[in-house]
């Protein structure tokens, strides 16, 4: 949620760099935007609405300066108004602050500051920060010390960036909210390097057009960026040596490449993403999986923690481990952190696309506090989850901009298959590996031949949508429903197929299409067909997602075909058909597909 961008060393291009960076962060979700540039004064322009509204406001303003910060806000404290938009300033207008996260003690700080004569112009928790800095400056502190003293008084989660009139620097700090520095000094070292350009942001895409060299800040760290270079210390001022990493993806990967929406582009990128996930990790001849330096995990039990789409991937993975004889269960991270089950010697696996999901990080930290080994399954190199966990398995999906996860879900399922094969023993492992090797081609076949758009057109005016499946298809049903509700704003629910008759069947009408995922022709498929007959008898239209091995097509009004493959892989390919149905339904309804209302790509507050 929310986006931060800052830059120094860009000269007259500072404002354009900030606005461009904010546009690159739109996927994070926001409802207002603003910028601040510092010279001998601090000039601020901010507007509720979209970045185009900010651009329009800037046309009548003259903002310039060598140092600047920008922000896209997702409302938490106070509605989306011009006044509540970031950046926020102090009483004198000499300090500007942008902030992600939630300051838990803001009310007591605000009361204290108000009683001392400070005037507040917004409803936000953030506004206490510039006033705290103002007080420290008035007491004689130098600018950097003033910012440190203010940050030290904050409780809660924050990524904060500050500019001050007359100071050629940006000050920044983080706690439970991501910040990354961009280094463009032309050198391989760290520290002072006059003449370079330096950036900070919530996420790399904000400045990836300018540099591929990054420094990830950790909790409790403080950064200063100026035209002379960059420096990272603890909040108390102790120097911290930071590695400069190189981002291995091209900035063009964050463009639409001719597609109408990022989501559609990323659906079509799934074959490539899956190849990246599998490359160098599977040996079909030997029937083995090599995950590099994960070491000897061999868990006696596994607990998965995740949220949203990643939770559905975790449910899928838990079934794989259970089938191999290892007790496993998927937990909603937001519940796990507050009601942690007995861990024992279980391996705790956090599944998180961004590696910054606040609920998942809290669950992993609680597990580590209790002595558990932890593993992050993530897409983001250098993310907090990757740095804090004992082990990391990257899904290698590449950057995903659309809020509704698509290629990352498919890559999560593939990576979790690899993980289960590497630490468990199943009799058909060679068949699973063969299926994984064929997976990218199977997904491409669906992308080439799918009739999902016609199905979406047929049922675009439905009152609600049900998705059903059994076993490994159950999490696919959940994910299909989530995609539908996320981007169409229509009511959609996913169920274990056998549960329909225990209540949800009361909601089934002739205006409730039921998407049934049925592959193979085993007992599970036959039971699901029985559930299909139940809804057919109540005049509900049925859309079968099937490989044609069973006779489910006899009872279906429409069929979404998937290639015949291993049952573990069938879940991945079936999901692609449901992604396309959701996408085309949303497109026909003219929804904001890449940026659904009220949602954000990276949820960094609990």
- Using the 3D structure, point to which of 417, 447, 477 is the last residue of a domain: 447
Q: Let me know if residue 135 belongs to a domain.
A: yes
Residue 428: its pLDDT value, please? 86
Spatial CA neighbour of 133 closest among 176, 172, 82: 172
- Do both 515 and 557 map to the same domain? yes
- Do both 285 and 237 map to the same domain? no
Q: Let me know if residue 603 belongs to a domain.
A: no
Work out the average pLDDT over 309-325: 96
| Cβ–Cβ < 8 Å for 233, 239 | yes
Q: Let me know if residue 600 belongs to a domain.
A: no
Q: Let me know if residue 605 belongs to a domain.
A: no
Complete edge-to-edge strand list for the sheet that includes strand 3-8: 42-48, 32-38, 67-73, 3-8, 197-201, 180-184, 213-216, 245-246
The yes-or-no answer on residue 601 being catalytic is: yes
Q: Let me know if residue 601 belongs to a domain.
A: no
Summary mean pLDDT of the chain: 91
- Do both 226 and 361 map to the same domain? no
* Structural domain that includes position 338: 256-447
Domain count, the chain: 3
The CATH number for 567's domain is 3.40.50.10490
Residue 174: its pLDDT value, please? 93
Q: Is the pLDDT of residue 248 over 90?
A: no
Spatial CA neighbour of 67 closest among 128, 5, 22: 5
How does pLDDT run across 487-531, given as a tens digit for each residue?
A: 999 999 999 998 888 888 878 888 899 999 999 999 999 999 998
Choice among 2, 7, 45, 277 that is catalytic:
2
Q: Let me know if residue 604 belongs to a domain.
A: no
- Do both 301 and 430 map to the same domain? yes
- Do both 187 and 289 map to the same domain? no
Residue 605: its pLDDT value, please? 59
- Do both 411 and 498 map to the same domain? no
Q: Is the pLDDT of residue 342 over 90?
A: no
The CATH number for 160's domain is 3.60.20.10
How does pLDDT run across 187-233, given as a tens digit for each residue?
A: 544 444 456 899 999 888 899 999 999 999 989 999 999 988 999 99
Work out the average pLDDT over 377-384: 90
Four-residue CA torsion sign, 275, 281, 284, 287: negative
- Do both 78 and 218 map to the same domain? yes
- Do both 65 and 143 map to the same domain? yes
Expressed in angstroms, the distance from the first to the final Cα of the chain is 11
Work out the average pLDDT over 455-481: 96
The residues facing 38 across adjacent strands are 42, 67
Q: Comparing 18 with 25, which gets the higher pLDDT?
A: 18
Q: How many CA atoms lie within 13 A of 199 on its CB side?
A: 30
- Do both 204 and 88 map to the same domain? yes
Question: Which single residue is written with the structure tokens 């799934």?
Answer: 270
Q: How many CA atoms lie within 13 A of 380 on its CB side?
A: 25
Complete edge-to-edge strand list for the sheet that includes strand 542-546: 491-496, 464-469, 514-518, 542-546, 558-561
| Tokens describing residue 445 | 């076949």
Share above pLDDT 70 across residues of the chain, in percent, rounded to a whole number: 96
How does pLDDT run across 20-55, given as a tens digit for each residue?
A: 999 988 876 688 899 999 999 999 999 998 899 999
- Do both 272 and 416 map to the same domain? yes
Quick one: pLDDT band at residue 295, thresholds 50, 70, 90?
A: confident
Q: Let me know if residue 606 belongs to a domain.
A: no
- Do both 186 and 313 map to the same domain? no
Residue 440: its pLDDT value, please? 95
Choice among 24, 46, 47, 601 that is catalytic:
601
- Using the 3D structure, point to which of 247, 265, 287 is the last residue of a domain: 247
- Do both 419 and 479 map to the same domain? no
Quick one: pLDDT band at residue 249, thresholds 50, 70, 90?
A: confident
- Using the 3D structure, point to which of 447, 480, 501 is the last residue of a domain: 447
């Amino acid at each position: 949620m929310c986006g931060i961008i800052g830059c120094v060393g860009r000269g007259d291009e500072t404002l354009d760099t900030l606005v461009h960076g904010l546009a690159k962060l739109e996927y994070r979700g926001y409802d207002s935007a603003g910028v601040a540039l510092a010279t001998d004064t601090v000039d601020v322009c901010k507007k509720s609405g979209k970045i185009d509204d900010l651009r329009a406001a800037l046309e009548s303003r003259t903002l310039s300066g060598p140092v600047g910060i920008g922000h896209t806000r997702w409302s938490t404290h106070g509605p989306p108004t011009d006044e509540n938009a970031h950046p926020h300033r102090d009483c004198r207008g000499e300090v500007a602050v942008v902030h992600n996260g939630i300051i838990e003690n803001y009310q007591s700080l605000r009361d204290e500051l108000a009683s001392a004569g400070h005037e507040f112009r917004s409803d936000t928790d953030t506004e206490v920060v510039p006033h705290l800095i103002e007080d420290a400056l008035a007491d004689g502190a130098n600018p950097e010390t003033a910012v440190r003293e203010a940050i030290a008084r904050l409780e809660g989660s924050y990524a904060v960036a500050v500019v001050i009139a007359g100071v050629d620097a940006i000050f920044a700090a983080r706690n439970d909210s991501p910040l990354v520095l961009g280094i463009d000094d032309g050198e391989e070292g760290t520290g002072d390097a006059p003449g370079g350009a330096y950036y900070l942001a919530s996420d790399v895409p904000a400045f990836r057009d300018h540099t591929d060299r990054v420094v990830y800040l950790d909790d409790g760290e403080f950064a200063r960026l100026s035209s002379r270079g960059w420096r990272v210390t603890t909040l108390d001022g102790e120097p911290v040596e930071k590695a400069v990493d190189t981002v291995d993806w091209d900035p063009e990967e964050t463009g639409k490449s001719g597609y109408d929406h990022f989501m559609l582009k990323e659906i079509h990128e799934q074959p490539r993403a899956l190849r990246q996930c599998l490359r160098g990790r599977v040996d079909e001849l030997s029937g083995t999986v090599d995950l590099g330096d994960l070491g000897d995990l061999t868990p006696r039990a596994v607990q998965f923690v995740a949220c949203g789409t990643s939770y559905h991937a975790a449910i899928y993975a838990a079934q794989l481990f259970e089938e191999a004889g290892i007790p496993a269960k998927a937990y909603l991270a937001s519940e796990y952190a507050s009601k942690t089950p007995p861990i024992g010697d279980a391996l705790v696996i956090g599944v998180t696309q961004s590696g910054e999901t606040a609920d998942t990080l809290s669950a992993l930290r609680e597990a580590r506090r209790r002595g558990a080994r932890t593993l992050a399954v993530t897409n983001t190199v250098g993310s907090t989850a990757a740095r804090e966990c004992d082990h990391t398995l990257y899904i290698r999906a590449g950057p995903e901009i659309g809020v509704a996860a698509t290629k990352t879900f498919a890559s999560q399922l593939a990576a979790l298959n690899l993980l289960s094969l590497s630490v468990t023993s199943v009799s058909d492992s060679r068949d699973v590996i063969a299926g994984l090797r064929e997976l990218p081609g199977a997904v491409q076949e669906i992308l080439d031949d799918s009739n999902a758009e016609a199905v979406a057109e047929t049922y675009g005016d439905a009152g609600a949508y049900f998705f059903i499946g059994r076993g490994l298809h159950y999490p696919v049903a959940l994910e299909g429903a989530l995609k539908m509700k996320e981007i169409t704003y229509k009511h959609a629910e996913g169920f274990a197929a056998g549960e329909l008759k225990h209540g949800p069947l009361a909601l089934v009408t002739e205006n409730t299409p039921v998407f049934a995922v049925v592959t193979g022709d085993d007992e599970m498929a036959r039971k699901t067909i029985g559930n299909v007959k139940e809804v057919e008898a109540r005049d509900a239209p049925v859309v079968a997602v099937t490989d044609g091995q069973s006779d489910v097509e006899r009872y279906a009004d429409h069929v979404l075909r998937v290639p015949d493959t291993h049952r573990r892989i069938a879940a991945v390919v079936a999901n692609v058909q449901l992604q396309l149905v959701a996408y085309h339904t949303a497109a026909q309804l003219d929804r904001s597909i890449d940026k659904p209302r009220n949602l954000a790509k990276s949820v960094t507050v609990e």
